Amino acid sequence: MARTKSRPSKIGTVIVPVADQRRMTAFYCDTLGFEPRVDLPFGPDGQRWVEVGLGEESTTVALAPPAPGMSTGNHATGISLQVDDIEAYHAQLREAGADVDAEILRAGEPVPPMFWLRDPEGNVLLVVQ
């Protein structure tokens, strides 16, 4: 009998290991515009499982304690945020004191305008229009 192949149906959560969940949650929500989705006890020593998301999107970002032996900070997250007005969002983040590239990269068609930003622990995200 042939086996039916299974595959994932969506990207559920992207996990970013962080050292300071409160600080990072404040940055992702207050500065970047995410909304809190989950905040539950997780593991020993009062750890928490924290997820943030954007609007009605189902994919979330978990700002989670690191796995044993895993470091926090200075990771390329692979997260790309899409915005409608890259100039306004770039200016808004700069005014909020976020660590963003000084200039928006404009490579020309078909590459959209983009810039990189770093969260308070040095994790890198990409913003694309």
Q: Are strands 124-128 and 114-118 parallel, antiparallel or unpaired?
A: antiparallel
- Span 1-8, average pLDDT: 83
Cα–Cα dist 25/31, whole Å: 10
Cα–Cα dist 108/98, whole Å: 26
Q: 13-128: which CATH architecture?
A: Roll (3.10)
User: Where in the chain are the domains?
Assistant: 13-128
Task: State the sign of the Cα–Cα–Cα–Cα dihedral 76, 103, 92, 120.
Answer: positive
One-letter amino acid for residue 7 of the chain: R
Q: Are 53 and 59 in contact (CB under 8 A)?
A: yes
Q: What are the C-alpha distances in Å from 40 to residues 52, 56, 117?
A: 12, 21, 28
Which pLDDT score is estimated for 18?
Answer: 97
User: Each residue of 39-88: pLDDT tens digit?
Assistant: 999 877 888 999 999 999 999 999 999 988 999 999 999 999 999 999 99
Judged by DSSP in three states, 44 sits in: coil
Q: State if pTM tops 0.85.
A: yes
